[in-house]
Amino acid sequence: MSIMWNKLLFGVLLSALICIAKDGMAQCCSTGSPVGASTHVGLVNKKTARAITFYRHSFSDIYYKGSKPSDDETDMSDNAHYDFTGITLEYGLTHRITLQADAGYFINKVVNFHNPALTDHNGRGMANGTFMLKYGLYVDPVREVEITAGVGFKFPFSRQPATAENGTLLQLDARPSTNAFGVTGSLLLSKEFTQLTLRTFILNRFEYNGFNVNDYQTGKLLTTSVFVSKKIARRFFGIVQLRNEIHGRDVQDGENEVNTGYHLMVFTPQISYVVAGLWNVSLLYDVPVYKNYKGKQLTPQYSYAISLSRDFSIRKAK
């Protein structure tokens, strides 16, 4: 992989990720996943550090049963939204090994009800963190092909589920974390076409969450993303992504939860700008194109994000 592309293309926040998005935060995925706002998920150059920070806003206001909007208005909320900020740090330990750490914070995670008998829920706090190791199974700079696998460990900053002001547990859509440990794995297949200033890649990610202290387990999450990145002008890159998410049912006390589990497809156009050859700024907008939800669930309408990233060489001066 050329040094030029490593500097111009971004890192994805894959852990407060993919439900950090795409980290599965209880059933927070029903109102959108706070995934990162950029697209580079491969290896980082040896003795190079990469820092990525981003902000995401998501809004939801339509309930689905199966693949259609629900007509059942019982205990339905008016809408839900969240504001999330995250950071990813990566380090190229060798030419084939990259270490990655993710953390994120929900500034707010709000569920608004129109029924006065119900209490609006407003959650905030740290999302699950992630440590990940990525290894280049096959890296061919001449053919511009990369196959990279990753394995990671998810951890909560608190084991206790968040509560509302009245002391009751927050609704799942308002909780900032799964409050449980978990594991994650990823597989990246990337192909570049330098003469065309074009890059294509497929990223597969799997997440498994353990049980929290209340014997609640967030369902498994399998995400497949297809990206195409193209230079469209000096310092500008256009990126399109199609993401497929399959989320298993949550489990409480050994029983499947009724209103959990889904199949979601999202189309994401994105534009990236390189500032002074050092800083990378990226904007994206998520548009759901297919929804199929188990039971009755609040579903994402849209979300947008902005990210800022930079690589730092930490080689010793000779």
Q: What is the mean pLDDT of the chain?
A: 86
- Structure-block tokens of residue 157: 């900053």
- What's the CATH fold of domain 3-313? Porin (2.40.160)
Q: Mind listing the pLDDT tens digit for each residue in 65-124?
A: 999 999 887 767 889 999 999 999 999 999 999 999 999 999 999 999 877 667 778 999
Tracing tokens 């509560």 back to the chain, one arrives at 163
Q: What is the mean pLDDT of residues 250-266?
A: 95
Q: What is the mean pLDDT of residues 125-148?
A: 96
Task: Please check whether residue 124 is in contact with residue 107, taking contact to mean a CB–CB distance below 8 angstroms.
Answer: yes
pTM assigned to the model: 0.85
In the chain, where are the structural domains located? 3-313
Q: Give the H/E segment covering residue 241.
A: strand 236-247
Report the distance separating Cα 130 and Cα 222, nearest Å.
17
Q: What is the DSSP letter of 143?
A: T
Q: Mind listing the pLDDT tens digit for each residue in 199-227?
A: 999 999 999 999 999 999 999 999 999 99
- Structure-block tokens of residue 297: 């669930």
Q: Mind listing the pLDDT tens digit for each residue in 195-206?
A: 999 999 999 999
